[in-house]
């Protein structure tokens, strides 16, 4: 691991260890912390977002070369990636450790607001995900600090993957986002965003602010894989095509790989079809960095 990542992780770990806003209690399941020279077994932990338990599962490859943080969509189980796609089998065969965080109904905001609907505030923010989960996994040697780390998400988790990579380029070497949304201004009636940051008519600054990923396209520093089925009836294709157009305009040197298949929708069948391409993308980044 480079010095920049080491000092950043160390500082964050010290700073959040006793942070009053986060319930950092951790319950360990199988696979306790093992010395780096030992073979690690799959690990199940429970972190707490205030009083809400958030299961975190790590699946280790036999010969690890990189890690992937795997994000679910809104109200979807993270482990459905294993149950409904070939990700877990293929990734582990190719040497990727996998981290699944049950974000539940999170929309991956940085923070909540007074106008955020009360029940939405029960679910983790992206700040908490980085501070209270990822950085502690590194600090406890549950993830190898010397290996590259990638982030992959589907649906709302796709926007989560993009914004985590944007805000944490010293942690993530690349991101893959499938069927994600990036510019809330394209869907001003979207219930998830209205309930999260308030209606556009009252809070336009939030719709244009740091949760608008497209507006921050110039900030991206790591390669992106962007996939979206053209038959998507849940998250419209324009979310990805408009994002790609913006990236190419304001950040033309950024490496972007896209795939917009004609016959795919917002389904696990589509997300499964992208697994091999996403893993090749991550491997290509790793090969370039070596």
Residue 2 confidence class, pLDDT cut points 50, 70, 90: low
Q: What is the pLDDT of residues 266-280, one digit of tens each?
A: 999 999 999 999 999
Place of tokens 């069927």: 179
C-alpha span between 133 and 148 (Å, rounded): 17
Q: What is the pLDDT of residues 99-134, one digit of tens each?
A: 999 999 999 999 999 999 999 999 999 999 999 999
> Would the pLDDT of 228 be above 90?
yes
Which region holds residue 256: left if phi is over 0, alpha if psi is between -120 and 50, else beta?
Answer: beta
Name the residue range of residue 132's domain: 3-289
CATH of the domain at 57: 3.40.50.1820
**Across residues 14-28, what is the average pLDDT?**
42
> Would the pLDDT of 11 be above 60?
no
Q: What is the pLDDT of residues 41-88, one digit of tens each?
A: 899 999 999 999 999 999 999 999 999 999 999 999 999 999 999 999
The H-assigned helical ranges of 3-155 are: 3-16, 80-84, 87-93, 126-128, 135-139
Confidence (pTM): 0.87
Residue 8 confidence class, pLDDT cut points 50, 70, 90: low
Provide the number of structural domains found in the chain.
1
Give residue 36's pLDDT.
Answer: 39
């Amino acid at each position: 691991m480079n010095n920049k990542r080491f000092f950043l992780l160390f500082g964050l770990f010290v700073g959040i260890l006793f942070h009053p806003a986060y319930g950092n209690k951790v319950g360990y399941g199988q696979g306790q912390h093992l010395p780096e020279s030992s073979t690690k077994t799959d690990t199940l932990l429970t972190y707490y977002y205030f009083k809400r338990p958030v299961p975190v599962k790590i699946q280790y490859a036999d010969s690890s070369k990189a890690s992937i943080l795997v994000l679910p969509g809104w109200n979807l189980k993270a482990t459905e990636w294993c149950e409904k796609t070939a990700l877990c089998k293929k990734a582990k065969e190719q040497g990727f450790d996998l981290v699944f965080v049950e974000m539940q109904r999170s929309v991956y905001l940085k923070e909540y607001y007074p106008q955020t609907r009360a029940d939405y505030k029960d679910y983790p923010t992206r700040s908490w995900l980085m501070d209270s989960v990822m950085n502690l996994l590194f600090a406890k040697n549950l993830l190898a600090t010397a290996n590259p780390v990638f982030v992959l998400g589907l649906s709302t988790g796709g926007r989560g993957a993009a914004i985590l990579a944007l805000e944490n380029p010293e942690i993530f070497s690349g991101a893959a986002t499938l069927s994600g949304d990036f510019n809330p201004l394209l869907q001003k009636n979207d219930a998830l965003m209205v309930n999260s940051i308030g209606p556009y008519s009252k809070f336009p600054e939030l719709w244009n602010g740091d949760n608008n990923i497209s507006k921050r396209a110039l900030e991206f520093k790591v390669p992106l894989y962007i996939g979206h089925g053209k038959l998507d009836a849940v998250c419209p294709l324009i979310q990805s095509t408009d994002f790609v157009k913006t990236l190419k305009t304001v950040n033309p040197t950024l490496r972007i790989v896209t795939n917009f298949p004609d016959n795919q929708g917002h389904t696990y069948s589509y997300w499964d079809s992208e697994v091999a391409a996403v893993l090749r993308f991550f491997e290509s980044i790793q090969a370039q960095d070596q």
